[in-house]
Amino acid sequence: MIHRSPEACPVCGGELVIRELECPSCEVTIRGSFETCAFSVLTGTQLQMVKIFLKSRGNLKELEREFSISYPTVRSRLDEIVRKLGFTPEPDLDPKFREELLARLERGEIDADEFVRKLDDAAA
């Protein structure tokens, strides 16, 4: 049975380094210092969520269905994953602001470039 490697040293909390790799088929052992995968910091559930997110091409409804959780919970868990991977989640835009911008775009009051600029400004 293969276990997931711990995220940090259980004694001091320091970063762990992989020093040895072994092929179970031919029993070759390779020693050195090896980088861990960036996703190794995720829990099993978080990793499963990332896999389903990618498989469904970012369809959040699929994550809601698969995990039987609400849309806000999906967003919250994805934000948690984003932070754990070392990124800052983008802030949510006010839905009314977004709807008003879309309406202005549809009425021809602003063009697509202005629409994108206003969205970027609001997110900054």
User: Three-state SS across 36-65?
Assistant: CCHHHHCCHHHHHHHHHHHHCCCCHHHHHH
* Residue 10 in this model has a pLDDT that exceeds 70: yes
Express each pLDDT in 64-87 by its tens digit. Answer: 999 999 888 898 899 899 999 988
Q: What is the mean pLDDT of residues 58-62?
A: 89
pLDDT at residue 120, rounded to an integer: 76
Decide if pLDDT at 90 tops 80.
no
Mean pLDDT of all residues belonging to the chain: 86
Q: What pLDDT shows up at residue 99?
A: 82
Per the CB < 8 A criterion, the answer to whether 62 and 56 are in contact is yes
Residue 110 is given by DSSP the state: S
Q: Whole-prediction pTM value?
A: 0.59
Residues of the chain above pLDDT 90, percent: 33
The model's confidence at residue 35, banded by pLDDT at 50, 70 and 90, is: confident
